[in-house]
Structure 1
């Protein structure tokens, strides 16, 4: 499920900024603080007793009407997406985000000021390696309104958004980033936007208290009456407001012709951050919004959780192995018909991944359920142990002069039958450093991406005479 590349990062020192919440209108101070490895993004409400924390986790999403709002045990975080987009865009892995209100400051409606603050704080590498979910299949979520988000394989994290609100004033727009390094210059300063009819509704309900028309592009999608203009002048404390020829209010100038699509991309990055894992793959979002973004994030999180639970190794069987059968025979004393591992694809100080093709010609099929050939479970464990022997013998400088012997097998579980034509993938991981020649490993065997057998194996490395 995961590919580990490079180190996790946090910020060098804490940094703060202040502003008002868009919907609450409350003055708020936000402080980014360094966080230990494997923390992820964690919001902390310092205005509440005990400074309760809300992890940036899609399972806490409760409302997506005017932003992505989280709630954990009654503790709320509103409009989380612009802050989270900045964290992802700068490739920072671990952060505490302290707030003295429920909502981060809206600033100018983009991620620009959060990016600037985080860059001012600087970043530092941490000891733990970064975990990344590698998309290797099409993952799709579509809602009844025709919004759709698809994740597909790609060499790095890429996002494309396509927006179409069915209005002449906005039209159809697209935006893309091929590399996260483009976020700061191409996406971070794209501001949030609204349509005039939405602004009118929000004003009638006493919302957007923090809006001063310097933090939102307003597209005028209907005839604007003098009465509405009067309301807007009062609400935003402006002497004059008019509509530009391009159909937006004259409070600000567009940074890009497709600023709306770029902001939607920003929102996708912030909402998908709630999956809690870095992603290597391409996301294509058609008519995205916070609801469809977070529903997609929930689906993606489920896929990742299932793969983590199964712990299925990702190897390309078409690539040359690290060790072929001749290399294996140079290390292990086993020979046909009892050599039960064909290739080794990965070998580190702490884990090994091997493979066996199960053919109809295996000698054990002659007598083991000959009418319905099934590989004996004990031989699956033996094959797993032989693969583990390669890992154990890596700890000695002259493995050809050592043997490994079983000492104990625990927690053996057989999950599915292994039959002719199956390819068994073995993964063994050290449970503790090898001491005094004692090697304890957690072993798994997989067929077709599903767990077939698991066991905890203990072996002893002994010098051969």
Structure 2
């Protein structure tokens, strides 16, 4: 797990679109609202009692037939992928998506209209740093039944390549590539959804795609059309006359690009993988992707990220001279033994600090804290993390010796393992938000023996000594 210098982003104001749902045919309004840092993407059903919120989470996917469908506590969101692809493609991190129905409007079957309205809202940089998972090894998922496979390999940025082959002459084999997210709007966002004639007939028979027409779905004719079928399609699409053009597409729809189908599959991959909930730095290679394989891969990668984040232990060379020894620490911090709980500062930047403590049997707290089986008190681990963070906040003033660092809040404290005499504790504190008016909001971790032993969110403020 690695943190980039990129800041999180949201939109500048509320914007909305109205259209029909592809499968329901119902009129629906979608609103995009600015959201706070670390909010991510979430859908809100304003048409239901209590206006329930459904996070954009791969683990909430319950169905991948004709779209990626989420459900939480019986509340559903259908075909989420085109909306989510637009957000990822514009590198927007935090948005609340309000819907007055289960399904976003299909618009023209692409992400184009969502991109346009989000750009009208304006994109605003936030203070918090963006989390990004950096891929260091090959990770893949294969659906043996269909042969669909998604692989991610290391890359300097998020890239996607899709390869499509449905075994039909009318579509053939197509590839599409996105080398950088900044190209999404121009190269991918207007690629429309598509269907084959045999699928279309089945969907119509089952009462689906009520909102479909020939302006929001490319229909590839992969079989002979009987006169009866043609009449049925004309009635369904409210057209006086339909025909199959030379390129094998129903009616007179003009493709935006020869490989529009592959580009739309790439769009779907981006939207479906948004459900991982973390930005990715790596190259996706998707062979015959579909919503099912996309979601299975998203769940697998999300679990890997969760485990790596939980088990991540930074490595430091403790044989090197420290950035600050005990004397320099005492020049900055007001604490003194026995309540000075850090021995060295190893790293210090504008956004993070790393400290160290050697825990010995001679620690005064062992005299009364289980002397027969000495264990370092958890509250003192938190205090040591806070003192390490104090170095970070005090380093922002020219005269740190004239300030005190005081706790304002402690949150989400977890103790994972015992800390015993002989352990070397490493404390890593990083800013959750920039320091403002002397207030520091940090995520702090303590490690020993290549294991996470405790963690906490800390908020402290420096105040002038009186």
Q: For this structure pair, what is the TM-score category when the shorter chain's length is used for normalisation?
A: 0.7 to 0.9
- Within the alignment, does 1:85 sit opposite 2:98 as a pair? no
Cα deviation per residue 1:154-208 (whole Å; 9 max; x = unaligned)?
A: 2221111111111121111111111111010000000000111000111111111
What SS does the aligned partner of 1:161 have?
strand
Cα deviation per residue 1:284-330 (whole Å; 9 max; x = unaligned)?
A: 111110011111111111112222323x2566x79xx9x94275558
Contact 2:11 2:123 in 1 (8 A): yes
Q: CA deviation at 1:149?
A: 1.1
Q: CA deviation at 1:377?
A: 9.6
Name the stretch that deviates more: 1-10 or 63-72.
Answer: 1-10
- 2: CA distance, partners of 1:97 / 1:249: 34
> What residue is the counterpart of 1:370 in the other structure?
none
Pairing 1:12-31 to 2, within 5 Å after superposition: 12-31=12-31
What SS does the aligned partner of 1:344 have?
strand
Q: CA deviation at 1:209?
A: 0.6
- 2: CA distance, partners of 1:18 / 1:347: 47
Q: 1:7/1:219 Cα in 2 relative to 1: closer, same or farther (>3 Å)?
A: same
What SS does the aligned partner of 1:325 have?
coil
Q: 1:388/1:313 Cα in 2 relative to 1: closer, same or farther (>3 Å)?
A: farther
Q: 1:392/1:219 Cα in 2 relative to 1: closer, same or farther (>3 Å)?
A: same
* Unpaired stretches in structure 2, ≥5 consecutive residues: 331-341, 358-373, 402-412, 436-441, 459-466
- 1: CA distance, partners of 2:314 / 2:185: 32
> What residue is the counterpart of 2:47 in the other structure?
47
> What residue is the counterpart of 2:11 in the other structure?
11
> What residue is the counterpart of 1:160 in the other structure?
161
Pairing 1:394-433 to 2, within 5 Å after superposition: 395=394, 414=417, 427=428
Q: 1:390/1:231 Cα in 2 relative to 1: closer, same or farther (>3 Å)?
A: closer
- Within the alignment, does 1:224 sit opposite 2:220 as a pair? no
> What residue is the counterpart of 1:239 in the other structure?
240
> What residue is the counterpart of 2:446 in the other structure?
444
Contact 2:329 2:344 in 1 (8 A): no
Q: 1:77/1:425 Cα in 2 relative to 1: closer, same or farther (>3 Å)?
A: same
Contact 1:413 1:455 in 2 (8 A): no
Q: CA deviation at 1:89?
A: 0.6
Cα deviation per residue 1:362-406 (whole Å; 9 max; x = unaligned)?
A: xxxxxxxxxxxxxx999xxx9x99999876556366999xxxxxx
What SS does the aligned partner of 1:163 have?
strand
Contact 1:416 1:451 in 2 (8 A): no
> Equivalent of 1:325, from 321, 330, 334?
321
- 2: CA distance, partners of 1:104 / 1:88: 17
Q: CA deviation at 1:456?
A: 12
Cα deviation per residue 1:134-163 (whole Å; 9 max; x = unaligned)?
A: 222222111112111112222221111111
Structure 2 length-normalised TM? 0.76
What SS does the aligned partner of 1:66 have?
coil
> What residue is the counterpart of 2:64 in the other structure?
64
Task: Indicate the RMSD between aligned Cα atoms, in angstroms.
Answer: 4.3
Contact 2:445 2:452 in 1 (8 A): no
Q: 1:54/1:430 Cα in 2 relative to 1: closer, same or farther (>3 Å)?
A: closer
Q: CA deviation at 1:415?
A: 7.3
- 1: CA distance, partners of 2:209 / 2:59: 26
> What residue is the counterpart of 1:37 in the other structure?
37
Contact 1:425 1:447 in 2 (8 A): no
Contact 2:89 2:181 in 1 (8 A): yes
- 2: CA distance, partners of 1:441 / 1:416: 20
> What residue is the counterpart of 2:278 in the other structure?
277
- 1: CA distance, partners of 2:51 / 2:156: 40
Name the stretch that deviates more: 158-167 or 221-230.
Answer: 221-230
Q: 1:202/1:451 Cα in 2 relative to 1: closer, same or farther (>3 Å)?
A: same
- Within the alignment, does 1:190 sit opposite 2:191 as a pair? yes
Q: CA deviation at 1:238?
A: 1.1
What SS does the aligned partner of 2:214 have?
coil
What SS does the aligned partner of 1:297 have?
helix
Q: CA deviation at 1:452?
A: 6.9
Pairing 1:141-160 to 2, within 5 Å after superposition: 141-144=141-144, 145-160=146-161
Q: CA deviation at 1:442?
A: 5.1
- 1: CA distance, partners of 2:291 / 2:211: 20
- 1: CA distance, partners of 2:385 / 2:320: 12
Structure 1 length-normalised TM? 0.76
